[in-house]
Amino acid sequence: MSNSLKEKIRTIPNWPKQGIMFRDITTLLQDSEGFKHLLDLLYERYKNFSIGKVAGIEARGFIIGAALADRLGVGFVPVRKKGKLPAETIREEYEKEYGPDIIEIHKDAICSGEKILLIDDLIATGGTALAACKLIKKTGANIIECGFVVDLPELGGSKKIEDAGFKTFHLVEFEGE
């Protein structure tokens, strides 16, 4: 199942900097059969989780998360970079490789006690995903799971999220490739 998805993910060596093997899911998204298969797999995983909303991390998490939310018949919450949402927000500051960053959601997007599925395309070091988990927890909601298309296990992101008490799931793994 995951091999057919993995074959549709392009690797771009040395981008955005030397030594990085960038895993580009846009080739998977533009393949109608591949994208449908991706959504079928995620729907089958999450259809019985009683999810209240899907939250997607900017930007590729929007594409996958919104489509999955539609299939699940639930709402979608965009997790955005600072200053991109028009109404009142709550925020979480976190450290990235090059300094601090901030993500936000609308203050009224998630209700206390709501069951949330967090979705993004890829988990690498886990900084943004963990910040999104902390941001969602500020609302009083429960994160059911953090779902990713791709995991890069040697960068430790999944472990970091799991060590913080959140469950993770991925469909494809690129390890040392």
User: Is 151 domain-assigned?
Assistant: yes
User: Is 17 domain-assigned?
Assistant: no
User: Is 89 domain-assigned?
Assistant: yes
| Structural domain count of the chain | 1
1 pLDDT band (50/70/90 cuts)? Answer: very low
- Catalytic one among 10, 71, 92, 97? 97
User: Is 6 domain-assigned?
Assistant: no
Q: Phi/psi of residue 108, each to 5°?
A: -95, 15
| Domain harbouring 71, CATH code | 3.40.50.2020
Range of the domain at 115: 49-173
3 pLDDT band (50/70/90 cuts)? Answer: confident
Q: Catalytic annotation on 175?
A: no
- Catalytic one among 10, 44, 58, 60? 60
Alpha-carbon span 92 to 14, nearest angstrom:
30
User: Is 86 domain-assigned?
Assistant: yes
Alpha-carbon span 30 to 10, nearest angstrom:
12
User: Is 98 domain-assigned?
Assistant: yes
Alpha-carbon span 15 to 125, nearest angstrom:
16
User: Is 166 domain-assigned?
Assistant: yes
Nearest to 63 by CA among 49, 78, 44, 47: 78
Q: Catalytic annotation on 80?
A: no
Q: What is the pTM of this model?
A: 0.95
Q: Which tens digit of pLDDT belongs to each residue from 19-74? A: 889 999 999 999 999 999 999 999 999 999 999 999 999 999 999 999 999 999 99
User: Is 10 domain-assigned?
Assistant: no
